[in-house]
């Protein structure tokens, strides 16, 4: 096995790189390749190793070069292998090499040789590991990576990493098989689904992932003495640079970041994590809770720095108290939030409801009361903040005539199917969480608002077969939005009662399936975001005419949650056919955010397609949700007499329309 002392880029031939042979424990030996990175970035050390035993001899060539001027060239290295099949054992005594010169590429080789009798068999095992203990962000913040908690901060820990790989790989493979086999053998699932479900997980490592071993407590600003009195939840919470009180860090899982996409360089973009987070919740729930705690802290922070927003050229505040940030930053994550600056996201209508919904879903799925208590002040604050966008006092929030949600090129005005449904779901989730934590008065208020808001939502948007895009008068206001039931998706995923009558939910899903899915390439490329009721794609903007891979998966999950298995798998299969199959566009392991009807992509290697794990969540819900008591949070038995009277006085009954047409 050969390896170059390189990570590509500026430091490929910049010089100063050193190779060093090593002999470890348990028959492990190989070469360390110490790489000096450019621009004073943290170094990285590779370890190439093999396992020696009574049948296998391991030898090394610590250094050779690719040019004819090297002391040992690649040609000479291969000549040695052809002649003897191994290198000189004395090479283990060579010690560290001289640092490489500028312009040179230095490499190393590890040989594992054995005799195999006719018809015999012998396993030869190599490993490649690397240690880069520090991660440094552009503005200078430096942290130790999570693995250093177990392996230490020395670059030479690459030896131990390589050794563990060689000694434990069989166990790791067994554990992977144990995890995957139940899904692979489940006859309910089509073969393409099983393949795509696991393959989409590539993003968890390819998405610029950073996992550090730090709680950041010492690096937050100290200006945390300004209290915000939140009468809604009757608590006082700190504002700037502080965590919600009494955060329980006994899990000690460190902190986790992943990019929105390799072309959209923002950490943990929250409106997209809303879709992708099912993968973390199902596979790494403690990491998922850690991310939610980070956003709970962020809700209670402010950053008065003035920033200019690109869409309209106006100036605003980087981070407003009570607003859920769009992201955790770019160049100084956790400290300098909201790297996104196209729109003022403190005016977006989806982020705060999405925070409440994700927190409740995670709370319900993990049954972690400590987590619930930790984030509750932020939930109250987020709910109170978003209510300012109820302009007319009818308990339903309104959009403000610009793209003020995750579809940030698609204008929306008034009551909207997407944000309105999220708001309804957030009210119900907040009520359910309040009940669990003993805040019954708060739950009652949420229930009253829910009843009023639901009436407004249905009266303004329900047209007999789906919910209109918004309550405005534009040509797209009656568009069929694929994502219009996002709030109901989370409601069902969290084990809560449906937001609407079941017949309306299924009617809407069938309409989306018939129009947004099947009328576009026969259902073979996913669900288009917007479709006019006349069967023509909504060409209002770039995003209305795109197919979003992650939204298609979440739509399929919603269908599964409502017993529409055939439509669900047909819908999601379009993403497999277009993105993963041999007849598709060739987006393997780089699933983009979106593509158009003719296959042009936008933003390769994107976070949102992890939403396929929402389908698995629907097919195999967490035990805590399955075993939770099925209590309707909106039942009268839970409403205090005063709240019930207010509800009866405020909401008139409307007769639901029957059937779909």
pLDDT tens digits, 633-649: 544 333 334 434 444 44
Please report the pLDDT score of residue 625 as a whole number. Answer: 87
Task: Tell me the CA distances in angstroms from 540 to 421, 519, 531, 533, 602, one per residue in order.
Answer: 22, 18, 10, 14, 17
Instruction: Identify whether the C-beta of residue 390 lies closer than 8 Å to the C-beta of residue 397.
Output: yes
Rounded to an integer, the average pLDDT of 75-99 is: 95
The contacts found for 133-142 with CB under 8 angstroms, 24 or more apart, are: 133/42, 133/157, 134/42, 135/42, 135/210, 135/212, 136/41, 136/42, 137/331, 137/332, 137/333, 138/330, 138/331, 138/332, 139/331, 139/332, 139/336, 140/332, 141/219, 141/332, 141/333, 141/335, 142/42
User: At which residue do the structure tokens 């403190």 appear?
Assistant: 346
For residues 239 and 156, which has the higher predicted lDDT (pLDDT)? 156
Rounded to an integer, the average pLDDT of 284-294 is: 98
Please report the pLDDT score of residue 554 as a whole number. Answer: 99
Assess whether pLDDT exceeds 50 at residue 226: no
CA distance 258 to 606: 10
The confidence band for 114, taking pLDDT boundaries of 50, 70 and 90, is: very high
Name which of 475, 485, 483 is nearest 517 in CA terms: 483
Please report the pLDDT score of residue 96 as a whole number. Answer: 96
The confidence band for 237, taking pLDDT boundaries of 50, 70 and 90, is: very low
The confidence band for 239, taking pLDDT boundaries of 50, 70 and 90, is: very low
pLDDT tens digits, 378-411: 999 999 999 999 999 999 999 999 999 999 999 9
Please report the pLDDT score of residue 633 as a whole number. Answer: 52
Lowest mean pLDDT among 115-124, 507-516, 565-574: 115-124
Q: What are phi and psi of 460, to 5 degrees?
A: -90, -25
CA distance 452 to 35: 63
pLDDT tens digits, 333-383: 999 999 999 999 999 999 999 999 999 999 999 999 999 999 999 999 999
Please report the pLDDT score of residue 626 as a whole number. Answer: 85
User: At which residue do the structure tokens 């819908």 appear?
Assistant: 571
Instruction: Identify whether the C-beta of residue 487 lies closer than 8 Å to the C-beta of residue 426.
Output: yes
* Domain boundaries for CATH 1.50.10.10 within the chain: 191-650
pLDDT tens digits, 144-191: 999 999 999 999 999 999 999 999 999 999 999 999 999 999 999 999
Please report the pLDDT score of residue 656 as a whole number. Answer: 37
The confidence band for 224, taking pLDDT boundaries of 50, 70 and 90, is: very low
Please report the pLDDT score of residue 11 as a whole number. Answer: 92
The confidence band for 218, taking pLDDT boundaries of 50, 70 and 90, is: very low
Lowest mean pLDDT among 203-207, 404-408, 625-629: 625-629
CA distance 360 to 600: 37
Rounded to an integer, the average pLDDT of 110-116 is: 95
Fold of the CATH domain 191-650: Glycosyltransferase (1.50.10)
pLDDT tens digits, 6-39: 999 999 899 999 999 999 999 999 999 999 999 8
Please report the pLDDT score of residue 215 as a whole number. Answer: 58
- The SS3 assignment for 259 reads strand
Please report the pLDDT score of residue 581 as a whole number. Answer: 97
Assess whether pLDDT exceeds 70 at residue 465: yes
Please report the pLDDT score of residue 225 as a whole number. Answer: 34
For residues 544 and 632, which has the higher predicted lDDT (pLDDT)? 544
Rounded to an integer, the average pLDDT of 565-592 is: 98
Rounded to an integer, the average pLDDT of 204-214 is: 94
| Spatial CB neighbours of 331, under 8 Å, sequence gap ≥ 6 | 137, 138, 139, 339
Please report the pLDDT score of residue 216 as a whole number. Answer: 53
């Amino acid at each position: 096995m050969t390896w170059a002392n390189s990570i590509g880029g500026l430091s490929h031939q910049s010089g100063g790189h050193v190779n060093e042979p090593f002999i470890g424990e348990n028959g492990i030996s190989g070469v360390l390749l110490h790489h000096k990175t450019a621009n004073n970035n943290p170094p990285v050390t590779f370890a190439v190793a093999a396992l020696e035993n009574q049948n296998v001899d391991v030898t090394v060539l610590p250094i050779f070069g690719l040019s004819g001027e090297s002391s040992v060239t690649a040609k000479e290295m291969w000549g040695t292998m052809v002649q003897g099949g191994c290198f000189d054992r004395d090479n283990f005594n060579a010690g560290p090499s001289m640092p490489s010169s500028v312009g040179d590429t230095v490499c190393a080789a590890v040989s594992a040789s054995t005799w195999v009798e006719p018809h015999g068999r012998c396993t030869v095992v190599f490993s490649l590991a690397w240690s880069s203990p520090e991660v440094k962000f552009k503005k200078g913040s430096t942290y130790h990576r999570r693995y250093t908690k177990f392996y230490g901060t020395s670059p030479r820990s690459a030896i131990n990493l390589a050794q563990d790989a060689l000694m434990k790989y069989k166990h790791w493979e067994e554990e992977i098989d144990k995890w995957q086999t139940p899904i692979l053998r489940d006859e309910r699932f089509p073969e393409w689904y099983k393949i795509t479900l696991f393959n989409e997980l590539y993003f968890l490592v390819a998405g610029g992932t950073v996992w550090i071993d730090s709680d950041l407590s010492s690096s937050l600003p100290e200006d945390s003495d300004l209290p915000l009195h939140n009468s809604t939840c009757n608590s006082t919470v700190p504002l700037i640079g502080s965590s919600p009180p009494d955060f329980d860090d006994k899990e000690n899982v460190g902190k986790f970041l992943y990019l929105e996409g390799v072309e959209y360089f923002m950490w943990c973009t929250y409106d997209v994590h809303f879709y992708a987070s099912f993968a973390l919740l199902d596979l790494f729930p403690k990491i998922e809770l850690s991310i939610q705690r980070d956003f709970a802290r962020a809700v209670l922070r402010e950053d008065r720095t003035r920033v200019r927003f690109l869409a309209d050229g106006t100036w605003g505040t980087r981070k407003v108290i009570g607003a859920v940030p769009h992201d955790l930053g770019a160049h100084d994550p956790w400290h300098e939030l909201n790297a996104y600056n196209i729109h003022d996201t403190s005016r977006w209508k989806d982020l705060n409801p999405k925070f409440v919904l994700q927190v409740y879903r995670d709370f319900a799925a993990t049954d972690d009361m400590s987590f619930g208590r930790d984030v509750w002040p932020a939930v109250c604050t987020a709910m109170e903040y978003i209510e300012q966008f109820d302009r007319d006092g009818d308990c339903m929030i309104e959009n403000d005539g610009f793209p003020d949600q995750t579809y940030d090129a698609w204008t929306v005005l008034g009551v909207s199917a997407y944000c309105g449904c999220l708001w309804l779901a957030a009210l119900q989730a907040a009520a359910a969480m309040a009940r669990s934590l003993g805040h019954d008065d708060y739950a009652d208020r949420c229930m009253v608002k829910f009843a009023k808001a639901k009436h407004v939502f249905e009266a303004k948007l329900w047209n007999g077969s789906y919910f209109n895009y918004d309550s405005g008068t534009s040509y797209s206001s009656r568009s069929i939005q694929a994502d219009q039931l996002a709030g109901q998706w989370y409601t069902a995923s969290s084990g809560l009662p449906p937001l609407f009558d079941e017949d309306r939910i299924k009617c809407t899903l069938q309409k989306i399936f018939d129009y947004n899915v099947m009328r576009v390439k026969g259902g073979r490329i996913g669900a288009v975001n917007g479709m006019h009721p006349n069967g023509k794609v909504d060409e209002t903007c770039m995003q209305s005419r795109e197919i979003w891979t992650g939204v298609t998966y979440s739509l399929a999950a919603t269908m599964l949650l409502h017993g529409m298995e055939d439509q669900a798998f047909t819908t999601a299969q379009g993403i497999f056919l277009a993105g993963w199959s041999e007849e598709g566009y060739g987006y393997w392991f780089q699933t983009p955010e979106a593509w158009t009807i003719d296959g042009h992509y936008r933003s390769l290697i994107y976070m949102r397609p992890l939403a396929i794990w929402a389908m698995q969540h629907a097919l195999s819900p967490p035990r805590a949700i399955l075993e939770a008591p099925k209590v309707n949070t909106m039942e009268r038995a839970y409403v205090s007499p005063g709240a019930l009277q207010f509800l009866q006085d405020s909401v008139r009954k409307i007769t639901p329309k029957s059937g779909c047409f």
